[in-house]
Amino acid sequence: MGPGLKEILFLNNQLTGCIPEGVGMLTDMEVLDLSFNSFTGHLPNSMSCLEEIEVLNFAHNKFSGVLPDLVCSLKSLINLTVSFNFFSGFDQECNKLFYGNVGFDFSGNCIPGRDYQRPQPQCEINPGGINCMRIPLSRPLMCGSSMEFQTKESNTKEQSLKKESKSKHSNAKESNTKQGNTKQSAFHPSSSVSSPPP
């Protein structure tokens, strides 16, 4: 997929995980419907590149965190639906949608002080087990074909962090094993020690 694609309709497909940063490469897209799935985490920064997008539907997923300005400020946006997720609030730019010509449905979330939100006990539950890490890029976000390198760079950093985390866990496990062996040797004399004469 690349520039030229106008619509993506993945509604009601039992999809899980995070929205990939590469979605920002689809700069000609006008409709993105991911409703009725089980996507989790935050919305990626690359969504700010979707300058032609008119309809965004993320309803009935497990997105969380704060709905960012980068989504609410998309210049071609006509309808934004984020109902029945676990968003805890939205940035200042999103408030402007109430006074514009954009349809904005955020019901069924966890936003304090707003009507038609989830009961508090539901908001205390972690909606998903996957951590969608947001890796800061080493340069300002560039949209279109220039973004392909940045997406690869971000994925490389994420993989590096995961490997580093696994390495630390492995080293800690090895250290604990060595300590256990040391304690055992203190109570079990080595077979190389000569026995006293009878």
Q: What are phi and psi of 91, to 5 degrees?
A: -70, 170
Query: pLDDT tens, position by position, for the chain (198 residues)?
Result: 455 899 999 999 999 999 999 999 999 999 999 999 999 999 999 999 999 999 999 999 999 999 999 999 999 999 999 999 999 999 999 999 999 899 999 999 999 999 999 999 999 987 765 567 555 555 555 776 554 444 445 455 555 555 665 566 566 666 665 555 555 544 444 444 444 554
Rounded Cα distance, 110 and 85, in Å: 8
Rounded Cα distance, 92 and 86, in Å: 18
Q: Is the pTM of this model over 0.75?
A: no
| 89, β-bridge pairs | 66
